[in-house]
Amino acid sequence: MRVVIDADLCQGQGRCFSIAPSVFGFDELGNGVVLTSGELGESDLELARLAEANCPEHAVGVVE
């Protein structure tokens, strides 16, 4: 499992990098960026799923 942020949908709401700072960071505009390119560990995966469930723009996805 890995995480993606749809840059077209992201508006910098800031929920992902607050909830899962080990998985998401932010760019100079404050938009979310994915920090890890590989497979997520169990605890990071749980946080990433929580970030997905809290993104008001539905920009965060956890995918196969």
Partner 1 sequence: MTIEKTPVRDFATDFDHTDPAWVADPYPIWEELRERCPVAHTERYGGAWFPATHAGVTQIAKDTENFTSRTVIMNDGRPDELALPSPIGVAPPITSDPPFHQIARKLILPAFSPGAINPLEPQVRALCRSLLERGSGHDVVEASWDYARLIPPSVIRQMLGFPEADTDVFIDIVHTVTESVDLPMDERIAAFEPIEEYFVRQIEDHQANPRDDLTTFLLNAEIDGQKLAVEHVFGTMILILVAGIDTTWSAIGSSLWHLAQNPSDLERLVNEPDLMPVAIEEFLRFYAPVTMARLVKHDMEYLGVPMKEYDWILLGFPAANRDPAAFVDADRFIIDRAENRHVAFGLGIHRCAGSNLARLELRVALEEFIARYPRFSLADPDQVTWSQGQIRGPRRLPIRVG
List interacting residues with partner 1 (CB under 8 A). Answer: 11-15, 17-18, 26-30, 50, 53-58
| N-term to C-term CA, the chain | 5
Closer to partner 1 by Cβ: residue 40 or 51: 51
Q: How far is the CB of 12 from partner 1 (least distance, A)?
A: 6
Q: Please, what is the minimum distance in Å from the beta carbon of residue 33 to partner 1?
A: 12
Nearest to 13 by CA among 60, 48, 45, 46: 60
| β-sheet bridge partners, residue 21 | none
Least Å from the CB of residue 2 to partner 1? 21
Query: How many Å apart are CA 41 and CA 6, to the nearest integer?
Result: 22
Considering the complex, state which of residue 40 and residue 52 has its C-beta at the smaller distance from partner 1: 52
